[in-house]
Amino acid sequence: MANQYWIGVDLGGTKILAGLLDDAFQVVGRSKLPTEAAKGPEAVFNQVRLAVEEVLQEANIPPAQVGGLGMCIPGQVDPVAKRCRWAPNLNWKDLDLNAGLPASWSWPCYFENDVKLGTYGEFTHGAARGARHVVGIFVGTGVGGGLILNGEIYNGFNFSAGEIGHIIVHWRKGTELEAVAGRAAMMRRAADLLEEAPKSIRKEWKGHDPATMKSSQLAAHFAKGDPIILQLVDDAARALGAAVGSVINLLSPEVIVLGGGVTGALGEPFLERIWEVAQKYALPRTTEGVRFVAAALGDDSGIYGAAAFARNKGGK
C-alpha cells in the first residue's frame, strides 16, 4: 500500500500557508499565497485550491495518496457542521465551508479555529508533545487561545472555548486582555503615549508610525530600551500573567504554550515576566510542575495542527 500524505492549510486574513506532510509527519511540500479576502469566499477557496495544487506538485504526489486535509479558519467554527460561524478578518458569517471546496477533491476535509489548531500542532509535534492538558496562548495582532483537555481539542457547548483574548483583566476598569496585550492595541497606545512624551523621545520615533509597526520593529525598540515600548511590553506581560494565573486556577493545565509573532519577537524576557506575574495570581502549589514554554513550531504550528487533526479524524 502506498504511503498516505496529509495536507494542512493555515488560512489567514492576508495569507494562506499550506503544507504536505508524509506518514512520518515531515513537511515535504510548502506553499504560500495571498488570501484575497476582499474578493469573497469563492476567490479565497480558489487560492486554497492553488496552494494545495502547489504542494502536491512540489512533492510530486498524486491526489490519490492524500489521506485528508485539515484547515485553520481565523474565526469561530462549528467543526461538526463544517460551518464558519464568524470570521471578521474574512468577513464571513455562517458560511458552509464544504461548499467552497473543489468537487475534484476526493479526500475528507476538516475545519477548526486557527489558534485551536496551532495549539494542537504544538501538542502533537511541538513544545507540548507528550502532555495531556495544554493551554495555548498566541499573541500577535490580537490574542487567541486553544485548549487541549485529556488529549482532545476542547470546544465547549457553542464551540467558542479558548477565547482568552476576550476575558476581562483588572486593567483600567475591566479591559479585554487583547486590548492590552495584542500588537494592534499596543501600537495604538504607543501613538497616544508619544503625544505626551518628551521631545527627546518623540525625536527617536521620527519617521516611524506606530500604527504600521511589525513585531520585529517592536522587538528592536524593546531591545534598545525605548521607554514607551518598555512600558507597553511590561503592561502586556502583566496582563497576560494575570490571565495565565487565572487559567491555571480554572483548568490546572500541564503545559502552557505561548506563541504568536509578538511572543517570538520579544523572546525569553517577555515569557519570564509573564510567568513571574502568573505565579502571583495562581493559587499556592498550583504551578508546581507546570511547564510554561515558548511555541516550538513557529509559523508551522497551524500546518502541523491542521494535518494532525485531519489524520486523527480520519481514524489513523
SS3 content of the chain, % helix, strand, coil (to 5): 45, 25, 30
Residue 173: pLDDT over 80: no
For residues 173 and 233, the model is more confident at 233
Residue 316: pLDDT over 60: no
- Of the chain, the percentage scoring pLDDT greater than 70 comes to 96
Quickly state the pLDDT bin for 208 (edges 50, 70, 90). confident
pLDDT recorded at residue 315: 58
Domain membership of residue 289 as a residue range = 131-295
Quickly state the pLDDT bin for 174 (edges 50, 70, 90). low
119 and 234 housed in the same domain = no
Q: In angstroms, rounded to a whole number, what is the distance separating the alpha carbons of residues 93 and 34?
A: 21
114 and 148 housed in the same domain = no
Burial class (CB in 10 A: 0-12, 13-18, 19+), 183: buried
- Mean of pLDDT values over 291-299: 97
81 and 208 housed in the same domain = no
Amino acid at 182: G
pLDDT recorded at residue 2: 67
pLDDT recorded at residue 30: 98
138 and 268 housed in the same domain = yes
Residue 39: pLDDT over 60: yes
pLDDT tens, position by position, 2-37:
689 999 999 999 999 999 999 999 999 999 999 999
Residue 36 to residues 30, 47, 85, 108, Cα–Cα distance (Å): 19, 8, 20, 25
From 68, 152, 156, select the one nearest 111 (Cα to Cα). Answer: 68
24 and 56 housed in the same domain = yes
36: left (phi over 0), alpha (psi -120 to 50) or beta: left
Quickly state the pLDDT bin for 76 (edges 50, 70, 90). very high
Quickly state the pLDDT bin for 189 (edges 50, 70, 90). confident
161 and 290 housed in the same domain = yes
114 and 247 housed in the same domain = no
pLDDT recorded at residue 207: 67
Domain count, the chain: 2
113 and 156 housed in the same domain = no
Classify residue 105 by its DSSP letter: -
94 and 177 housed in the same domain = no
Average pLDDT in the chain: 94
247 and 150 housed in the same domain = yes
165 and 273 housed in the same domain = yes
Residue 155: pLDDT over 90: yes
195 and 116 housed in the same domain = no
Please report, for the domain that includes residue 71, its CATH number: 3.30.420.40
End-to-end alpha carbon distance in the chain:
15
pLDDT recorded at residue 214: 86
Which segments of 124-233 are extended strands (E)?
A: 134-139, 143-149, 152-153, 168-169, 175-176
From 156, 145, 91, select the one nearest 120 (Cα to Cα). Answer: 145
Classify residue 212 by its DSSP letter: G
pLDDT recorded at residue 171: 63
- Mean of pLDDT values over 273-294: 98
pLDDT tens, position by position, 240-257:
999 999 999 999 999 999
pLDDT tens, position by position, 226-242:
999 999 999 999 999 99
- Mean of pLDDT values over 195-202: 75
